[in-house]
Structure 1
Amino acid sequence: MAADLGDLAAFASVARAGGFRDGARASGTSASGLSEAVRRLEAKLGVRLLNRTTRSVAPTEAGARLLERLTPALDEVEAALDVVNGFRDSPAGTLRLNVPVSAARLVLPRIVPPFLAAYPDIRLDVVAEDGFVDVLAAGCDAGIRYDERLAQDMIAIPIGPRVQRFATAAAPHYLDRHGRPQHPRDLLDHACLRGRFASGAMTAWEFERDGEVVRVDPGGPLIVRVGAATDLAVDAAIAGTGIITLFEDWLRPHLDSGALEPVLESWWQPFSGPFLYYPGRRYLPAPLRAFVDFIGAQRALPRLAPEGSRDAAGADRS
């Protein structure tokens, strides 16, 4: 009763993703094709593998047992095929990355063009979303996150700037009207533009100077979803609506132009930069191996940027 390998892979994609549409997105196929493959597999095996409702798709007990045994087997098949890929003159295939919106905007632009130029047979598929995800369940090969969001069983390598800072700023005409804060607690008397994560948690406003750490929770007229609507908060700050705290490099062009003025600069808190993380496998897919090697080679190059220039950074540590 040999089942088709493609049908087995289709079932695994749907079961991991929790739905045909998300499974299709993760596997790069159509939802209808996955549905037909799962029906074919169930008919072949004579047992229902997925419970389907209008709102969700979940493995049956038989499906869960099959997925448990199938996942490492499919990983081995993929690794075996990728060994052959290593004999090509140039690695080929798709590399799927799950990254914060901030990394897609401010970290990857320095990396992606030269990487794709070096590896023309690799297609890069980037999913930008904030919040921690299981990269394998999401159908991705690797992700970018900060160290506090990394799973313990993942391999992590530095990518992008190694030290970043949160910056606080406001339009000069806002500060002329309302005064310039001298201490982080002064922010409690100002209109502040806040961010909220998908989990519902508000972004932290934390400041540090000479070993003193001050955390404040100011109010204000605008709250935006971190990542997706961050530019709205930046535009509001430039318009004089209030004070914003964000990664320094997100605000840097506006600070340099004078549209925004630094606030409490001596209190800006530094933190370590992001990491590329991926599962610890004996054999990495060739596109991922090429990307890991490319990042390593970039980090080994001497910095030629003029003194005073800054690395790109993300806008939230998600």
Structure 2
Amino acid sequence: MPNLFDLDAFVAVAQARSFRAAATLRGVSASSLSEAIRRLEARVGVRLLNRTTRSVTPTEAGTQLLERLNPALSEIASALDALNNFRDSPSGTLKLNVPVIVAQKILPPIVNRFLAAHPGITLEVSASDTFIDVLAAGFDAGIRYDESIERDMIAIPIGPRSQRFVVAAAPAYIAKKGKPEHPRELIHHACIRHRFASGVIPGWEFERGGKLIKVTPKGPLIASTAAVSVGAAVAGIGLIYTFEEYVSSAIASGELVPVLGAWWQSFTGPRLYYPSRTHMPVPLRAFVDFIQSAGERARVEA
């Protein structure tokens, strides 16, 4: 019989379609996964993965094996996870995939309190704005906003119940270029734009009295990180449109001035989502219970 590490390595690589990506998720080296696959194929006498310099895909035999192994390995994981019931506090690893804004501005205080309450749990957080199948990628759960959560998932609020996109500019920029009073005036201004990892540069949306206005801005800077964008705005390069959390401190200090406040668009805050499973991993169950109890306390205090 092949050992469980080799079987798990095969599942990881077959699902990720990449030795490097699977190694990152498993916290091991790509070479160790490659060696495991070689051992497994030698043991079973069948090629399980087709490898090229650009892709890794399961063979017909590999696809069939993957379909049978997934539920079997999940059952083994559940059986081992059930041993948590005999411990004073739960233990294990919880892997989350979250948006960058959540990782930077929302999750840190939650994580600190959760880990203090559950010292036996190891939490792995991967921040990415790219939409992925978190379960296929080896995560236990994800955090996203409503529009990108699949309907067959269970989703619960985490962090703020609502957020806003805001516009701001440095006093020096406003003194030089003026302060727009309507979203359509932005076409005459220098705007700092954001590019997602997918390559998309989103337009700017505004809402007032039920009226929605979309603007396609132009400007001298396109950035993929908030730090660069906010720094440029503070330096007077142009107007910034971003999550309020990224610029609230700069607005409070006077480094940035709010613009078009009456048109700022609010939206539902992030949600923790996970599959409806009979045997939920104990670390995930502990995190869900923690988030729900924290939300309940917040409502009572409010």
Which bracket does the TM-score occupy, shorter chain normalised? over 0.9
- Selected match of 2:244 from 233, 242, 248: 248
- What SS does structure 2 have at the residue aligned with 1:32? helix
Structure 1 residue matching 2:180: 3-state secondary structure: coil
What TM-score do the two structures reach when normalised by structure 1? 0.91
Do residues 267 (structure 1) and 263 (structure 2) align? yes
TM-superposed CA distance for 1:256, in Å, is 0.5
Report if aligned partners of 2:2, 2:43 keep a CA contact under 8 Å in 1: yes
TM superposition shift of 1:11: 0.6
Counterpart Cα distance in 2 of 1:180 and 1:189:
11
One-letter code aligned to 1:168:
V
> Equivalent residue for 2:31?
32
Deviations 1:176-234 (A, max 9, x none): 11111010000010000011122222123111111111111110001112xxx121011
Percentage of pairs with the same residue: 59
- Which among 225, 229, 234 is matched to residue 238 of structure 1? 234
Q: Structure 2: which 5+ runs fail to align?
A: none
Aligned residue for 1:48, secondary structure, equals: coil
1:219, 1:22 → 2: CA distance?
36
Mapped partners of 1:288, 1:250: distance in 2: 29
Task: Quote how far apart the aligned CAs of 1:110 are.
Answer: 1.7
Q: CA RMSD in A?
A: 1.5
Q: Tell me what 1:63 maps to.
A: 62
Secondary structure, counterpart of 2:197 in structure 1: coil
Q: Give the aligned partner of residue 180 of structure 1.
A: 179
Where does residue 167 of structure 2 map in the other structure?
168
Any idea what SS the aligned residue of 2:20 has?
A: helix
Q: How many corresponding residue pairs?
A: 302
Q: Secondary structure in 2 aligned to 1:98?
A: strand
Q: Residue 291 of structure 2 aligns with which residue?
A: 295
Amino acid at match of 2:75: E
**Aligned positions of 1:275-314 closer than 5 A:** 275-302=271-298
Question: Aligned partners of 1:180 and 1:282: how far apart in 2?
Answer: 56
Deviations 1:69-121 (A, max 9, x none): 21122112111211122221111111111111111101111201111111111
Q: Which residue of 1 aligns with 2:192?
A: 193
Deviation sequence 1:19-49 (CA, Å, 0-9, x none): 2221121122222222222111111111000
What is the DSSP-based 3-state SS (H/G/I as helix, E as strand, rest coil) of the residue aligned with 2:159?
coil
Q: Secondary structure at the match of 1:302?
A: helix
User: What is the identity, as a one-letter code, of the residue corresponding to 1:300?
Assistant: E
User: What SS does the corresponding residue of 1:51 show, helix, strand or coil?
Assistant: strand
Cα distance in 1 for partners of 2:255, 2:300 equals 28
Task: Indicate the SS of the match to 1:85.
Answer: helix
Q: Residues 256 and 303 (structure 1 numbering): CA distance in 2 closer, same or farther, change over 3 Å?
A: farther
Q: Give the Cα–Cα distance (whole angstroms) in 2 for the partners of residues 95 and 61 of structure 1.
A: 32
Structure-1 residue corresponding to 2:51? 52
Deviates more, 1:95-104 or 1:29-38: 29-38
Match of 1:316 in 2: none
Once the two structures are superposed, the pairs formed by residues 80-229 of structure 1 within 5 Å of their partners are: 80-225=79-224, 229=225
In 2, Cα distance between the equivalents of 1:83 and 1:122?
A: 14
Provide the rounded CA distance (Å) in 2 between the counterparts of 1:264 and 1:235. 20
Return the offset for 1:153: 2.0
Q: Counterpart of 1:12?
A: 11
Distance in 2, Cα, partners of 1:241 & 1:171 = 8
Take 2:248 and 2:272, find their aligned partners in 1: how far apart are those partners?
Answer: 24
Letter in structure 2 aligned against 1:109: P
Q: Provide the C-alpha distance between the structure 1 equivalents of 2:121 and 2:246, rounded to a whole number of angstroms.
A: 29
Give the aligned partner of residue 23 of structure 1. 22
CA distance in structure 1 between the aligned counterparts of 2:31 and 2:43, rounded to whole angstroms: 18
Q: What amino acid sits opposite 2:132 in the alignment?
A: V
Q: Matched residue of 1:94: which SS?
A: strand
> 1:314 corresponds to which residue?
none
Q: Which amino acid aligns with 2:8?
A: A
Matches of 1:74 and 1:279, distance apart in 2: 17
State how far apart, in whole Å, the 1-side matches of 2:237 and 2:23 are.
43
TM-score w.r.t. length of structure 2: 0.96
CA distance in 1, matches of 2:108, 2:15: 30
